[in-house]
Chain A
Amino acid sequence: MPPPSGSPRPEPQKPILSVAGLSIALRGRGRETSLVQDVSFSLSEGRTLCLVGESGCGKSLTSLAIMGLLASPPLEITRGEILFEGRDLRALSARDRADLRGDRMTMIFQEPMTSLNPAFTIGDQIAEAVMRHKGGTAEEARAKALEMLKRVRIPAAEKRLDEYPHQLSGGMRQRIMIAMALVNGPRLLIADEPTTALDVTIQAQILSLVRRLQQETGSAMLLITHDLGVVAEVADEVAVMYAGRIVERASVKDIFDDPQHPYTIGLMGSLPSLSGREERLATIPGSVPAPERMPKGCRFAPRCPFCIPACTEAQPPLLEVAPGHEAACIRAPLEQHVTEAA
């Protein structure tokens, strides 16, 4: 059994990434639809923050905004600050941002072919990433590529250097993409559902690989997933998103052992368990409202079993409910606000 780490971890040093009040909107035909609203978090060296939430809650948009890859127009950052290693990314020129990408900050996606070019060999693609940012000769870059393939445990790495992406299995391509993302030693790695398309035995390999490489390099990781099992496996901290906002943020232990927001609780109750057959799953009724039809107050109110009229008056702010644990619910902690004998 791993030791339970009940006490809060020592507060880590300076954050590598800090996002404050980030809002993203869709602009078009004289309308502005808010898609991500007031998202804040920070991430330190060697730590992993998981963004979790259901489809469409704004996880990918948040990460694309950090990478400077938002498709704008029509998408646009309307507010907020993104500091990376102390620098305000929004103030940088497009050129400077492009220099950071693939070097100091890198991203891996659910579908490896988003980052791999089918027309070039694996070796050439990784070597190119090295030379673009670090310079050096083609031989040096190729040697670096080979070393990286070995580190991500590609069998027969030497031979793979000269193969094309389509010659590899899905799991293998994912490893190649990870190799490419890590070859320049980034300080921040953003992974958007990196294992969602993979089989469970392959997913386990990739997760353990990512964790090991991260320990070796000390880079920070922002991992996006909707799988609470993956969250428990890799996260240090967790931010739960619902309908474009962060509704709860805490250490991984607190999220699972002390869930505060009714949405987080509902998600936990919706998960079938591997350890036994429970009677019936708790469910969250209804579905997520469309971005252009967001309720005025708490966005979870239409689906929340604890909703009272006050919830629909204003958006509940993300407030600390315990040290290092924040929830955006006017009724947290619940047991203090409801009578259990109801």
Chain B
Amino acid sequence: MSAILQAEGLKKYFKTGGGLFSKPTVVRAVDGVSFAVQKGETLAIVGESGCGKSTVGRMLMRLIEPTAGTVTFEGQDLGALGETGLRKLRGAMQMVFQDPFSSLNPRMTVADIVGEPLWLHGEGSARERREKTLELLRTVGLRPDLADRYPHEFSGGQRQRIGIARALASSPKLVIGDEPVSALDVSIQAQVINLLEDLKERFALTLIIIAHDLAVIRHMSDRVIVMYLGSIVEVAPTGPLYSEPLHPYTRALLSAIPLPVPGHHAERKLLEGDIPSPANPPSGCRFHTRCPYAQKRCVDEVPALRDAGAGRMAACHFFEDLPPETAGRALGAADSPAKARRLALYKQFRTLRDTQGPEAVLRASTPTMEAVTRGEQSS
């Protein structure tokens, strides 16, 4: 594998407020972030609200200018490209946003929204573009006959599909999803997750998923970056990150998730205190105000993001010496036999109805009393 995208020392400081008598505050939204994205992988960026995930995503797309640092996409330094160069590159890098309501222009039809990138890149004739647009709608599971409707006529999940279709229009190599399923109900979220996975496979995409839902991330990604207050605290392949988190913050995040398993809460350790403001981050290790393992050194000295072997990195002075996370609770429990059986039935009938229609569902039903009696009469 080779890196398709590389971020090096990215920083973004926002100045806010400040007037005649007050100094502006500087929000260190992203404060020195470096990582590489491998071709074909799904990389997740996770962390709590305000830790800088979206700001990183926007800098990768160069929708905002970094305060410092570089982004290299397929060997090209984005900062060195002019407007035209950037525009070309943006076809190859696309973003899908969290809010399907505000990210689509309400005055454009779905066909116009999805087809706009084709038009911008001057692809083909009007008819060919229309064809391609309808094909894109089919690809994301929307009926092409809805092409001339407006976004408000669609549900949240459908709007997210429209956003995805639009992102695919320019045949991107890399898609960045900023909370692409966070605003959706569970059942709709599952549809969009499956869609993203199918599309990734079909178009050999590289995906960066920005999210705060650790279950969604576990399901979708190959590798995870954990951020806290503008910095990376841990990087690891997905499996090991969940089974054996190294950084105290990652541990705390994982143990805070309420599991859909009754009776599990008894075992958890809770993190105390609030998330500090990025305008006034704690000295040394930014996590030291909440870390159960903090020591004197943590207050004074910023921990470097260090190699932890097996493709892992952690930014903690003491990660080698911390007690292993075996005491942590299991992240799930086996399904009860009754639940496992019904889930299996559900999936089986879902496929049956999809592929062979409702009549097949009826045929696979045990005869009801009524049918039994009718059968007896006819024989």
Contact = CB atoms under 8 A, between A and B. Distances in A.
Contacts of B341: 335
A280 B197 CA distance: 9
Contact of B361 (A226, A267, A306): A306
Contacts, number: 219
Interface in A251-287: 252-253, 256-260, 262, 265-278, 280-285, 287
B338 interface: yes
B189 interface: yes
A274 B242 contact: yes
Contact of A199 (B238, B275, B362): B275
A54 B336 contact: no
A305 B349 contact: yes
Interface stretch (B24-32, B122-130, B260-268): B260-268
Contacts of A340: 345, 348
Nearest to A199: B48
Contacts of B187: 54, 266-267, 270, 283-284
B191 interface: yes
A141 B196 CA distance: 55
A13 interface: no
B278 to A, nearest CB: 13
Given A199-B212, A256-B260, A277 B238 contact: yes
B367 to A, nearest CB: 10
A273 B219 contact: yes
Nearest to B272: A205
A202 interface: yes
Contacts of A277: 218-219, 238-239
A281 B219 contact: yes
A275 B346 CA distance: 21
Contact of A282 (B190, B212, B266, B272): B190
B240 interface: no
Interface stretch (A36-44, A180-188, A230-238): A230-238
Given A256-B260, A274-B242, A283 B352 contact: no
Nearest to B261: A232
Interface stretch (B14-22, B60-68, B78-86, B250-258): B250-258
A274 B331 contact: yes
A310 B361 CA distance: 12
Most B C-beta atoms less than 10 A away, residue of A199, A203, A309: A199
B158 interface: yes
A2 B268 CA distance: 12
Given A200-B253, A338-B364, A282 B274 contact: no
A280 B219 CA distance: 9
A327 to B, nearest CB: 11
Contacts of A207: 258, 265
A270 B215 contact: no
A269 B349 CA distance: 13
A337 B372 CA distance: 13
B270 interface: yes
B263 A272 contact: no
A139 B188 CA distance: 52
A334 B345 contact: yes
Given A233-B265, A283-B187, A335-B341, A227 B346 contact: no
A270 B188 CA distance: 8
Contact of A270 (B190, B360, B366): B190
Interface string B213-241: 01110111000000000000000001100
A298 B370 CA distance: 20
B48 A256 contact: no
B323 interface: no
A200 B47 CA distance: 10
Contact of A268 (B155, B189, B220, B260): B260
B186 A228 contact: yes
A305 B258 contact: no
A283 B339 contact: no
A20 interface: no
Interface string B330-369: 1111001011011101111110111000101111111010
Contact of A274 (B185, B188, B259, B275): B259
A2 B263 CA distance: 6
Interface string A292-317: 00000000000001111110000000
A4 interface: yes
Contacts of B256: 200-201, 203-204
Contacts of A266: 187, 346
Given A265-B346, A342-B349, A287 B157 contact: yes
A54 B342 contact: no
A199 B213 CA distance: 10
A271 B216 CA distance: 8
B194 interface: yes
B281 to A, nearest CB: 15
A338 B363 CA distance: 9
A182 B49 CA distance: 28
A27 B86 CA distance: 54
A4 B346 contact: no
The 4 residue pairs across chains A and B that have the minimum distance between CB atoms: A275-B332, A342-B364, A229-B258, A272-B219
7 contacts: A169-B275, A257-B338, A268-B260, A273-B332, A275-B331, A275-B333, A340-B345
Interface of B: 48-49, 155-158, 185-191, 193-194, 197, 212, 214-216, 218-220, 238-239, 242, 252-266, 268, 270-275, 330-333, 336, 338-339, 341-343, 345-350, 352-354, 358, 360-366, 368
Interface of A: 2, 4-5, 54-55, 155, 169, 171-172, 199-205, 207-208, 226-233, 235, 252-253, 256-260, 262, 265-278, 280-285, 287, 305-310, 331, 334-340, 342
